[in-house]
Amino acid sequence: MSNKVLVALDFSEFSHAVLEMGIKVAKALKGKVFLLHIEDDIYRIRQSHEITPMDEEFFPVINQFHDARIKQCQTHMEKLYKKIPSALRGDKVIVEGHPIEEIVKYAEQNKISVLVVGAQGSSNLSMSKLGSTAEKIVRKAPCSVVVVK
């Protein structure tokens, strides 16, 4: 077994608790902690509706916002990565795409043993005990999943 623990982060207020659990699991398995953040792919979003000339005028602004957001994510990722004891550090990755698809794909491709996710993410919707993203990941993940409340 690879003993790789993937911690999926959305940089919400729950990210610290999710990371702490990932570290505990990695220590117990004598494994490594891998950090993953999925940022919405703005090009996929663009393809979801018909592009008008007015939309094209906003593309430079959208691209600037997106570039700034990626830099902000890198800063958050680096801060959280430093909280992992050096002996437990695996990779840290920011991927653009759909969160559920990309988390499951990363777990499959990297032979992850345990995936750690938050019960609620950045949307902070408390309509159910388990957020829709976490619930779908639990069903689709190729490995065990720890959901942190």
Handedness of CA 148, 14, 123, 111 (dihedral sign): negative
| pLDDT tens, position by position, 113-136 | 999 999 876 544 443 444 688 999
| pLDDT tens, position by position, 20-68 | 999 999 999 999 999 999 998 766 555 556 666 766 777 788 788 888 9
Q: What is the pLDDT of residue 64?
A: 87
**Reported confidence tier of residue 9, pLDDT bands at 50, 70, 90:** very high
Query: Smallest Cα–Cα separation from 107: which of 55, 61, 146, 149?
Result: 146
| Domain regions of the chain by residue span | 4-11+25-148
Look up the pTM and report it.
Answer: 0.85
Q: What is the pLDDT of residue 128?
A: 41
Query: Smallest Cα–Cα separation from 85: which of 22, 145, 144?
Result: 22
Q: What is the pLDDT of residue 131?
A: 64
Q: Which amino acid is at 67?
A: D
1 or 56: which leads in pLDDT:
56
Q: Which of 61-65, 85-89, 134-138, 144-148 has the least mean pLDDT?
A: 61-65
Answer yes or no: is pLDDT of 71 > 80.
yes
- DSSP assignment string, 23-79: HHHHHHHT-EEEEEEEE--HHHHHHTS---HHHHHHHHHHHHHHHHHHHHHHHHHHH
Angle at 110 between CA 63 and CA 26, to 5 degrees: 105
| Residue 102 DSSP symbol | H
4-11+25-148 CATH: 3.40.50.620
Q: Residue range 99-112: average pLDDT?
A: 96
Helices 132-140, 99-109: axis angle to 10 degrees equals: 30
Beta-carbon neighbour count of residue 45 at 10 Å?
11
Q: What is the pLDDT of residue 49?
A: 60
Q: What is the pLDDT of residue 45?
A: 58
